[in-house]
Amino acid sequence: MLTGGKSFVSSPPAFSNDAKRLLVCTGNTVSVFSTSTGLQTCELEGHEAQVTSVIVVPATNPASKFLCYCWTASLDGKIMYWDFAAPELMKTIDIRFPIHSMVIPSLLHQRIDSTGKLPDLYAYICTEDAKQEGKPSSFGIQKCNLTKSRLVGGVTLAETQKPGHVTISPSGRYIGTCEKRKLRIWEIPAKDSEHVSYKKIRLHHTRSITTMAFHPNERVVAAGDVTGRILLWRGVGREAFSNTKSSNGRLNKDGEDRPGVRDGDDADSCTTWHWHSSQVNVLFFSSDGAYLYSGGREGVLVVWQLDTGKKKFLPRIGSPLLYFINSPDPTLSSISCADNQIQLLRMPSMEILRSISGIKLPSSHMDMYEGFGSVVVFNPTAGLIAVPAENYRVQFYSLFDDREISQVQICERNHQPGDEITVKVNLVALSRDGSTMCTVETRLPEEGIGGLVTLKFWACGSQKKQISLSTVIYEPHRDAEISCIAFRPTGNMAVSSSYGGDFKVWVRRHELTPKDETVQRSGWTCHAVGSYKKKPMSTAAFSSDGSVLAVAADKVITLWDPDRNTLLAVIGDSLEPITNLTFVGKSEYLVSASASASRGSKDSNPQLTVWSMSKLSATWSYRLDTKAITCSMGDSTFAVLACCKPKGSAEESLQCAEEMILLFNVEKAAPLSVWFVSKAQGGGLSFVSSDEDKVSATKAADEVLAYINGAREYVLLNPHCEQETKLNISRQRGFANLDETDTHGYASVYGALPEFSLKTDQTPFPSMSSGKTWKDIFSGPPHTLGPLRNLCSDFLESLLERRSGVVE
Amino acid sequence: MAEAFPVKPKLRPTSSKLTPTPEAKYWRSFKIPKDIETTPSKSFTFPINSIAFSPVAPHDFVATHSASVSIFSGKTLEPKPTISSFSDTAAAVSFRCDGKLLAAGDLTGTVHVFDAKSRSHLRRLKGHAAAVRSVSYPRAADKLHLFSGGDDSVVKYWDVTTEKCVFNLLGHKDYVRCGDTSPISDEMFVSGSYDHRVRVWDVRVSNASSVMELNHEKPVESVLYLPSGGLIATAGGNFVKIWDVIGGGKLLYSMESHIKTVTALCMGKVARGSGEEAEENRILSVALDGYMKVFDYAKLKITHSMRFPEPLLSVGFSPDCSTRVIGTSKGNLYIGRRKAKVETEEVGGGLQWKIVEDDPGRKVLRPSYFRYFQRGQNLKPSEGDYLIKRRKKVKMAEFDKLLKKFRHREALVAALNRRNPESVVAVMEELVARKKLMKCVSNLDTEELGLLLAFLQKYSTMPRYAGLLTRLANKVVELRAEDIKSSDQLRIYVRNLKRDVEEEIRTQQSLLEIQGIISPMLRIAARR
C-alpha cells in the first residue's frame, strides 16, 4: 500500500534555523524540503492523523543555529519532539484530545533562570473536547507542560464552537485568537509556571475576523476580516498589560483621542485599510516591524508600509494565499497557496525563487455546476494522472514518485483566483499509449449568450513534457455538452459523445506542410457521426481490440462498428440512464453501470451489470451505486468504486453511506476482495501498471489498483494479495541531499582568489559564517535596508574572505 | 506565476492553399503590366501558333498569327510594326543566336528570313512541298544554317546565305510539327512528328537517317532540348515525356497532369534572389485545357499550375526571367511581366561600381553624424558569441489593457472603435466569461450604443459571428428599448438591423427549401 497526493497547505509550514530546510505538514507526516532545490529531503513519520502544527525550536545563540529540533502536534492527540536532521523521534506526549493548533511561547524567550536549569516548557494548544452525546464538540485553548508531558489541569483560556488558530507574537509575550467578531489576546508572563494568572483583553469589530498578527516589538495588532478590511490597533493593552502607568491610561480613556476604537476596547487607536476585495487570509509583520504583509483570495501579496500606509504588490501568484511565513534568513520567505503550492520568495525584491507543488486540489467552486465534474484521469501505462486545475491547466502527476511532472495550459485565459468560475476544463482524456491528450473546456453562457464548448486534441512528445496543441474544434456537438471521450486502444481514433444525442468519431489525418515536405502535420477530423433515436449519449467505450464501439444511449447500450459507422446491436434496458461503460480486458464482457440522474431521488435503482458480448445478454448484475469502474488490462478482473447505502433505518440515521472498492472477476458475481474507503465523491479508480518499462507486456501481476479520493489523496493497492498489506514496489523516492556549495561575497562575484602562501599570518581566526552575501544586503529599495549601523558590519563581514582553515 | 494572456479571436481553419509556396508566388508575380494596354487589345482574332524570344537583351519577342508576324519590344512590351509579307498563315518562327535575323515558316512551305530590326525581307527558302510548321536556328554559334520541318514529313537543313537545302533528313512518316536545336551543339537537332516518333539528327554523322528514334506513343506536338543537352522533353497527347538522350534514349518520366492535348513546351527559370546558382530550370507546358503547368524535372514534380480561360497554343519565356507570354487559340496574347527589383545593370556597370568602392572620400564617423549613433546596430553575431536576447516587449491592444484593469465597458468601446470584427467578438466572449457583457450593454451611453448597433447590424447575420451576435442583438434591443426609442439615430440603426435580419430569414428559408429538395435525392443516392 502506497499513499500520496497530500496537501501541503493544510497548516503553515516552518523554516529551519539555517533557512535551508522547510518543514511542511503533509497529512500524517511532516515533509522536509530543501529550500535551495525545492526537493524533498526527508519525512517525519509517526503521527496517525493529520499534523496540524509544526514548530521549529529557534536558535537562542548563533552556535545553536544548526540544531534541528521541532515540535509537532496532530489531530491524533499527540505532541512529538523530533530531530529532523536525522530524522529521529525523541519524545511523544499523548494528551488524547485532537489538537488543532499549538504555540509554545516560552521557546521564543527562553531564559535560563538563576538556578541554572531550564524552566518547564509550556505549550498552548487548541484542543477539541471529547465528544459528548448529542452535543456539538467544543474547543478550548489549553495549556500543556511539555517538560512533564502532561496537560495543566484547570487552565482553559477560551472555549469556542469552532477550532481557532492560535497566533503568537514574535516576542512570545502574547498569544491571541480570533473568534467571530472579536480578538482575544492574552499576555504570557515572562516566568511561566503552572499556576499563573493571565491578563487578557478583547478587541471588537463589526465583521467576522479571519486572521490576526502581532507586531514584533510594539503593541500593535493587525486583523483581517471577511470583507477584505485590515484593522490596525495601536497601543493595545496599554491599560491591562502595563502595570505602572495605569493613571495615564485612564486619562486616555477619558479623552476623546481614540479614533476608531470600539466601545471601550483597550487600545489607543484603530485604523482601517481596505484594498482586498474579499477575505483576508494572510497577515504578517516583517521582522523589523516596518511592513505588514497581507494577502487574500485575489492571489496578490500586498506589502503595507506601516507608518504611511503605502502599498507594494506581488501580483499574479495565481491562487488564493493561505499562509505567509518568513525565515531566519531575512532574504527568504514562503507563501502557501490554495492550489497546493508553496512559493519561496527572495525577500526585499519579492521574486518567486522556486515553488514546491503538490497535487492540485479540487476547487471549491468546481462542483457548483452540473456537468462540470472534474475527474482525475489516469494514464495506466506510465503511472501518471492528469489533474485538471482551476487555472485552466492540467497537471501531470506521477503516482509512484508522488510529485508533479508537468503542467499544460489548456486555455489561454487569465485566471483570477476567487472569481466565479465560468470557464473550465471539464474533461480530459489520454490515449492508452499516452501520445495524445484530448481536453474539453466549457464556457458558461451569460443569460443564454456566448456559451462555448471547445474540444482540443494535443500531441504529447516522447518526453511527456512537450505537449503541443494539434487540433481545436469549436462546438463539436453544436452547443451540447460533451459527456465522454474515449480513445481507441489501437490508436488514431477517438469518439466523443454528447448529451445532445449524437456521438462523433474523430480520426487523425496526416498531411504534409506545403513549405517543408519533411514536416508532417497531423490533425484530427470528424470521421463519422452517429445517433440513436436522439437519445442523450452519456458514455462511450472501445473494446480492447478496437473493433467494437459501445455507446450508451440513455438506458440502452448501442454497439457500433467504428470504421464503417454501422449499428451492430442494441442491448440492455436498465432502469436508470447508464453512466459508465467498460470492456473488461481482453475478455468478451462489457460492464455497465447506471445511476439515478437526480441524486436526491429516493427510489433510485442503481445497477451494475456485466454483459456477455457473445450472447448479447446480461450475465449478472448488482444493485449498486457505482462511481467508477476500471478493468485490468491483462486478465478478466475489474474493480468498481461503489457507494452502498445501508437499508436499515437505524443505520441510515447515522448518514454513513459505505464507500468501498470491490474487485470482481467477470465469471463470478462474488467479489474477490473489498476495501472500504472514505471521501469517494469525485474520486477515481484505475489499474496502473507498476513497471514503466514493461509497457508492451503488461502482465496482471504488475498491475496495481490506484484509487484517488475526492480530496486528491491517492492510494495504490495490490489487488491480488490482500493479506500482504505492503506493496512490493520499490519507491524511488529521490530524496535529494541537502548539500549545496554556495560561493559567498567576493568569490561569488569575482571567483576564488588565488592562494597566497603568506607565512606571517599563522593565527587562525575564528570565523562565523554569515548567510548573507553583500549582494543580498543591498538588494531592494533603500528604505528596506535597515539601519546603517547594522549594515556596515554586515557589509564588511561579507567583503572579508572567509577562511576555512589556517593558511600554511 | 501566471503570465498575462491577451484576448485572442477564435482560430479559423486554414487550408494549405491559402499559403502559397515561394514558387507559386514567383509564377503569380508575372502580371500584366499596368502601363501597357490590357490583353484584349493584344487580341489578333487568329490563333497564335508560335512565340519566340530573342536570345539577346532586351529580348524582343515575336508571335505569329494568321499571315503576319508581330514583334514586341522586350523592354516596354509595346508592339512594333508587324511583318505581313506572307501569302499564307505563318506557322513557326525562330531567332538567330545573335538575335539579328528572324526566320518564319508559312503554310505554303516557304521559310522566310527577315532582318529583325528593319523587318526587311532577306531570303526565301523554298523547298518544302507542304506547310512548314517548324523552323529553328541553331542555338550555339552557327549563324549560317537553319533547320525546318514540314507537313511533307521532311526535315531540311538549309544554308541560309545561298538559299539552298544542304540535307534532306528523311525518316518521318507523317507531318513534322515541331523541332528544336541542341543548346550545346550546332549540329544536333530533334524533330517530332505525327507518326508518334521523335528523331534526333546529327548533320555531322549521318545526313540521311536519324541518330536516335524515340516513341512518344502520341502525335508529337512539341519537343524541347533541355539546357544540359542531354535531356529532351516531348509533348503529345495529354502528357509530357522526359527522355535521356545520352543514356540511349531512356524514358525518365511521363508527366500526365494535363487533361487535353499539350500544345507547346518551353524552358522557364525560377530566379530566387540573384546569381546564376539561384536559378532553377523548369519546363512550362501549355495545353488545350487552358492550363499552364510548371514542371520541375529535377524533382519530377509539378510545382505550379495556372488556368487561363481559353485553349492555349504557344508559350514563351524570356531568358532574363522577366517576361512570360502565352498565346491562345482565340488570338489573345497573355503577356506577364515580373517586376524587376533591380534594373539590370549596363555592361559598364561593374566598372562604375568599382570606382565607387575605391572612392577614398569615405569619412570617419564622428558624433556629429546621426549614423555615428546607429553604428554597430546591424552587426551580426559571430560564431562564438554569447547572445543575450532582449526581452520582447509585449504589445497589448488597448482593450487588453482596459480588460486588465477591469474597465469592461471601455474595453468593449475600444474594441468597437478598432473596427475589427474578430477582436470585437473576442472581447465580447471574454466579457461573457467574466459575466459582464450585459452590464456593459446597459451602461453604454447613446453614442456608444450607436456604435454597438452599427456593429451588430453589419455582422450579426454573418455566419461566423451569428451564434453570438444574433442573441446579443436581441438582448440589446430588449435592454435598451427606451433609449433606442428616444434617439432618431439609434432608430435608424435598428431599422437597418431589422431589414438585414428579415433578409437573412428569407435566405434561410430558401436554403431550407433547397435542402428539402436535395435531401430525398441524397437518400436515394446513398441507398444505391
Closest by Cα among A59, A90, A86 to A72: A90
pLDDT of residue B278: 65
pLDDT of residue B19: 66
Locate A700 and state its grid cell: 496482471
**Average pLDDT of the residues in B500-512:** 94
List Cα–Cα distances, A614 to A589, A590, B449, B524, in angstroms: 8, 10, 66, 35
CA B260 to chain centroid: 20
**Average pLDDT of the residues in A229-258:** 65
**Which residues share a beta bridge with A151?**
A144
- DSSP structural state of residue A763: S
**Average pLDDT of the residues in B94-107:** 88
Q: Tell me how far apart the alpha carbons of residues B281 and B242 are, in angstroms, rounded to a whole number.
A: 14
Number of inter-chain CB pairs under 8 A, A vs B: 66
**Which residues share a beta bridge with A706?**
A686, A716
Q: Tell me how far apart the alpha carbons of residues A791 and A423 are, in angstroms, rounded to a whole number.
A: 50
Instruction: Match 508527366 to its residue by C-alpha cell.
Output: B255
Chain A: closest CA distance from residue B482 (Å)? 20
B215 near B196, Cβ under 8 Å? yes
Locate A384 and state its grid cell: 501518471
Which residues from chain B sit within 8 angstroms of residue A414, using beta carbons?
A: 2, 4-5, 404
ipTM for the complex?
A: 0.78
Q: Return the axis-axis angle of helices B463-479 and B446-459, rounded to nearest 10°.
A: 150
Chain B: closest CA distance from residue A451 (Å)? 8
User: Do the chains contact at A449 and B435, CB–CB below 8 Å?
Assistant: no
Amino acid at B105: G
Chain A: closest CA distance from residue B468 (Å)? 5
Chain A: closest CA distance from residue B371 (Å)? 37
Name the least confident of B13-17, B306-310, B340-344, B412-416. Answer: B340-344
CB nearest A445 (choices: B8, B10, B432) = B432
A327 near A302, Cβ under 8 Å? no
H or E stretch covering B328: strand B323-328
Name the least confident of A665-674, B359-368, B379-388. Answer: B359-368
pLDDT of residue A469: 87
B258 near B238, Cβ under 8 Å? yes
| pLDDT tens digits along A196-211 | 778 888 888 888 999 9
Instruction: Match 564617423 to its residue by C-alpha cell.
Output: B365
Could you say which residues from 441 to 460 on chain A have a Cβ atom under 8 Å away from some Cβ of chain B? Answer: 443, 445-452
Q: Tell me how far apart the alpha carbons of residues A25 and A154 are, in angstroms, rounded to a whole number.
A: 30
Q: Tell me how far apart the alpha carbons of residues A141 and B387 are, in angstroms, rounded to a whole number.
A: 61
pLDDT of residue A303: 92
Sheet of A452-460: strands edge to edge?
A423-430, A436-443, A452-460, A467-474
Q: How many residues does chain A have?
A: 808
**Average pLDDT of the residues in A556-584:** 87
Task: Return the CA Rg of chain B.
Answer: 33
pLDDT of residue A645: 64
Amino acid at B459: Y
**Phi/psi of residue B426, nearest 5 degrees:** -65, -40
List Cα–Cα distances, B465 to A747, B416, B421, B439, in angstroms: 63, 15, 9, 21
Closest by Cα among B147, B181, B157, B209 to B55: B181
H-type alpha helices, A135-281: 246-254
pLDDT of residue A774: 64
Model-level pTM? 0.69
Q: Tell me how far apart the alpha carbons of residues A453 and A571 are, in angstroms, rounded to a whole number.
A: 30
Closest by Cα among B172, B156, B178, B203 to B266: B178
pLDDT of residue A412: 84
Count how many Cα atoms sit within 13 Å of the Cα of residue A61 in the half-sphere of its side chain.
3
Instruction: Match 457505482 to its residue by C-alpha cell.
Output: A626
User: Do the chains contact at B437 and A446, CB–CB below 8 Å?
Assistant: yes
**Average pLDDT of the residues in B513-524:** 93
Q: Tell me how far apart the alpha carbons of residues B148 and B131 are, in angstroms, rounded to a whole number.
A: 10
pLDDT of residue A760: 44
Chain B: closest CA distance from residue A515 (Å)? 6
- Dihedral of the CA atoms A564, A569, A575, A579 (nearest 10)? -30
Q: Tell me how far apart the alpha carbons of residues B211 and B190 are, in angstroms, rounded to a whole number.
A: 10
Kindly tell me if the per-residue pLDDT of B118 is higher than 80: yes
B245 near B232, Cβ under 8 Å? yes
pLDDT of residue B514: 96
Q: Tell me how far apart the alpha carbons of residues B62 and B70 are, in angstroms, rounded to a whole number.
A: 5
Q: Which residue in chain A has the smallest CA separation from B406?
A: A416
List Cα–Cα distances, A395 to A428, B394, B472, in angstroms: 11, 27, 36
A800 near A769, Cβ under 8 Å? no
Kindly tell me if the per-residue pLDDT of B353 is higher than 60: no
Instruction: Choose, out of A408, A421, A449, the residue to mutate when testing the contact with B (most B CBs < 10 Å).
Output: A449
Q: Tell me how far apart the alpha carbons of residues A475 and B247 are, in angstroms, rounded to a whole number.
A: 60
User: Do the chains contact at A422 and B435, CB–CB below 8 Å?
Assistant: yes
Name the least confident of A548-552, A717-721, B169-173, B491-495. Answer: A717-721
pLDDT of residue A719: 72
**Average pLDDT of the residues in B88-95:** 88
User: Do the chains contact at B4 and A316, CB–CB below 8 Å?
Assistant: yes
Residue B249 region, left (φ>0) first, then alpha (ψ -120 to 50), else beta? left
Which residues from chain B sit within 8 angstroms of residue A446, using beta carbons?
A: 431-432, 435-438
Q: Which residue in chain B has the smallest CA separation from A314?
A: B1
Confidence class of residue A737 from pLDDT cuts 50, 70 and 90?
A: very low
H-type alpha helices, B245-308: none
**Higher local confidence (pLDDT), B455 or A511:** B455
Which residues from chain A sit within 8 angstroms of residue B3, using beta carbons?
A: 316
Q: Which residue in chain B has the smallest CA separation from A444?
A: B433
Confidence class of residue A769 from pLDDT cuts 50, 70 and 90?
A: very low
**Average pLDDT of the residues in B319-333:** 85
User: Do the chains contact at B429 and A446, CB–CB below 8 Å?
Assistant: no
**Average pLDDT of the residues in A488-496:** 88
The DSSP result for A496-531, as a single string, is EEETTS-EEEEEEEEEE-SS-TTSEEEEEEEEEEE-
Closest by Cα among B469, B465, B438, B442 to B456: B469
**Which residues share a beta bridge with B414?**
none
Chain B: closest CA distance from residue A414 (Å)? 6
User: Do the chains contact at A450 and B10, CB–CB below 8 Å?
Assistant: no
**Phi/psi of residue A484, nearest 5 degrees:** -160, 150
CB nearest A450 (choices: B2, B16, B437) = B437
**Average pLDDT of the residues in A238-258:** 56
A352 near A334, Cβ under 8 Å? no
Q: Which residue in chain A has the smallest CA separation from B472?
A: A449
User: Do the chains contact at B21 and A422, CB–CB below 8 Å?
Assistant: no
Kindly tell me if the per-residue pLDDT of A267 is higher than 90: no
**Average pLDDT of the residues in A386-415:** 83
Q: Tell me how far apart the alpha carbons of residues B125 and B164 are, in angstroms, rounded to a whole number.
A: 7
A596 near A642, Cβ under 8 Å? no
Locate A294 and state its grid cell: 497581507
Amino acid at B103: A
The DSSP result for B157-180, as a single string, is EEETTTTEEEEEE----S-EEEEE
**Higher local confidence (pLDDT), A370 or A308:** A308
Name the least confident of A325-334, A383-392, B231-240, B340-349. Answer: B340-349
Confidence class of residue B409 from pLDDT cuts 50, 70 and 90?
A: very high
A591 near A631, Cβ under 8 Å? yes
B474 near B456, Cβ under 8 Å? no
**Average pLDDT of the residues in B174-185:** 89
pLDDT of residue B518: 94
CB nearest A447 (choices: B8, B428, B438) = B438
Q: Tell me how far apart the alpha carbons of residues A785 and A465 are, in angstroms, rounded to a whole number.
A: 41
**Phi/psi of residue A473, nearest 5 degrees:** -125, 120
CB nearest A449 (choices: B5, B16, B472) = B472
Share of chain A above pLDDT 90, in %: 9
Kindly tell me if the per-residue pLDDT of B275 is higher than 60: no
H or E stretch covering A398: strand A393-398
Q: Tell me how far apart the alpha carbons of residues B469 and B463 are, in angstroms, rounded to a whole number.
A: 10
Residue B296 exposed, middle or buried by CB count within 10 Å (0-12, 13-18, 19+): middle
Instruction: Match 500544345 to its residue by C-alpha cell.
Output: B263
End-to-end CA separation in angstroms for chain B: 61
Which residues from chain B sit within 8 angstroms of residue A412, using beta carbons?
A: 5, 8
Chain B: closest CA distance from residue A509 (Å)? 14
**Which residues share a beta bridge with A427?**
A440
pLDDT of residue B121: 87
**Average pLDDT of the residues in B8-37:** 73
Locate A178 and state its grid cell: 480570533
A569 near A614, Cβ under 8 Å? no
CB nearest A352 (choices: B1, B429, B430) = B1
Kindly tell me if the per-residue pLDDT of A294 is higher than 90: yes
Instruction: Match 511561547 to its residue by C-alpha cell.
Output: A105
Could you say which residues from 298 to 327 on chain A have a Cβ atom under 8 Å away from some Cβ of chain B? Answer: 316-318
Kindly tell me if the per-residue pLDDT of A736 is higher than 70: no
User: Do the chains contact at A452 and B5, CB–CB below 8 Å?
Assistant: no
Confidence class of residue A738 from pLDDT cuts 50, 70 and 90?
A: very low
- DSSP structural state of residue B58: T
Amino acid at A393: R
Q: Chain-wide mean pLDDT for chain B?
A: 84
Kindly tell me if the per-residue pLDDT of B276 is higher than 60: no
Q: Using beta carbons and an 8 Å cutoff, which residues of B are at the interface with A?
A: 1-5, 8, 10-11, 16, 19, 21, 404, 428-438, 467-468, 471-472, 475
CB nearest B432 (choices: A449, A474, A511) = A449
H or E stretch covering B466: helix B463-479
